[in-house]
């Protein structure tokens, strides 16, 4: 397989967040959100595996027939390619054709497949020939993974359902707080229960006797929560302006 000269090279700065990736890729409007999401995680996985040359939407050519195709993502290391195929945006027939071309290429080290769901995952596993199983990696279904991630996220958001917890966490954004300070605006019983809960979840820590502050994990969560609230507010403002 040969890599075309127009292949778009990804860098670590492009995947600092999903939003950063979308702004950088800024490619085809016909590309679905799920397709972009799969590519985003595929690039992250390649970088995490130690591959530094990563290309997205790469035009490739298969020799000797000179058949051309667009590969979702590929990584290059030691003159060997790791090819990544995302199911979103490709029909099953085209997928299997591309998979066969990659399988016949001598300079393909591994083929990573990102199926949409568990049903697709089983189909692709059956399509892998026994002699190729060592170099084909079929990931978890993206939709199944998203469902689990959403469940975990909603459980975290449930933390903010309690006004007492919100007040405690927001007050600690400025600095650690003494227990007696928190008791001024939170019922002592609720304060005791929620201090224990937030400590168990590793969101706050006792920095000194009777003084509590955000843990590192708690700081990150609160920053993300504030960013989330700001994005929601901006979206609502935009919707209201368009009415």
Give me Rg for the CA atoms of the chain.
24
Question: What is the number of structural domains in the chain?
Answer: 2
Confidence of residue 28 (pLDDT cuts 50, 70, 90): low
Q: Out of 104-118, 121-135, 175-189, which region has the weakest mean confidence (pLDDT)?
A: 121-135
Rounded-to-integer distance, Cα 204 and Cα 31, Å: 41
> Are 134 and 128 a contacting pair, CB within 8 Å?
no
Last residue of some domain: 90, 120, 147?
147
Taking residues 203-231, report their average pLDDT.
90
Q: What percent of the chain has pLDDT over 70?
A: 98
Q: Give, in order, the Cα–Cα distances in Å from 131 to each of 103, 108, 122.
A: 10, 14, 18
* Pairing mode of beta strands 53-62, 80-86: unpaired
Check pLDDT > 60 for residue 183: yes
Q: Which domain-ending residue is among 97, 116, 147?
A: 147
Whether a cis peptide bond, with omega within 30° of 0, leads into 64 is yes
pLDDT tens track for 57-113: 999 998 888 888 889 999 999 999 999 999 887 777 888 888 888 888 889 999 999
Domain hosting 23: range is 2-147
At 119 the pLDDT is 83
Q: Which of 29-33, 103-107, 225-229 is predicted least confidently?
A: 29-33
Last residue of a domain, one of 95, 112, 147: 147
| Shared domain check, 182 and 139 | no
**Whether the predicted pLDDT of 43 surpasses 90:** yes
């Amino acid at each position: 397989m040969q890599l075309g000269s127009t292949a778009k090279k990804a860098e670590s700065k492009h995947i600092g967040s999903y939003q950063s990736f979308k702004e950088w890729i800024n490619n085809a409007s016909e590309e679905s959100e799920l397709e972009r999401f799969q590519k985003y995680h595929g690039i992250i996985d390649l970088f995490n595996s130690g591959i530094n040359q990563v290309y997205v939407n790469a035009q490739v050519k298969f020799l000797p027939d000179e058949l051309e195709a667009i590969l979702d993502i590929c990584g290059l290391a030691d003159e060997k390619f790791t090819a990544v195929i995302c199911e979103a945006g490709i029909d099953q027939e085209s997928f299997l054709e591309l998979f066969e071309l990659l399988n016949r290429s001598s300079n393909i080290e591994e083929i990573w497949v990102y199926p949409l769901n568990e049903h697709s995952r089983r189909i692709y596993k059956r399509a892998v020939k026994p002699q190729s199983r060592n170099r084909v990696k079929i990931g978890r279904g993206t939709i199944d993974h998203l469902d689990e991630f959403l469940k975990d996220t909603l459980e975290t958001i449930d933390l903010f359902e309690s006004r007492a917890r919100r007040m405690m966490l927001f007050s600690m954004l400025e600095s650690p707080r003494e227990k007696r300070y928190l008791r001024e605006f939170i019922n002592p019983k609720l304060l005791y229960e929620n201090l224990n809960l937030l400590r168990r979840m590793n969101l706050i820590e006792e920095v000194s006797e009777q003084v509590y502050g955000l843990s590192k994990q708690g700081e990150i969560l609160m920053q993300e929560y504030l960013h989330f609230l700001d994005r929601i507010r901006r979206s609502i403002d935009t919707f209201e302006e368009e009415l």
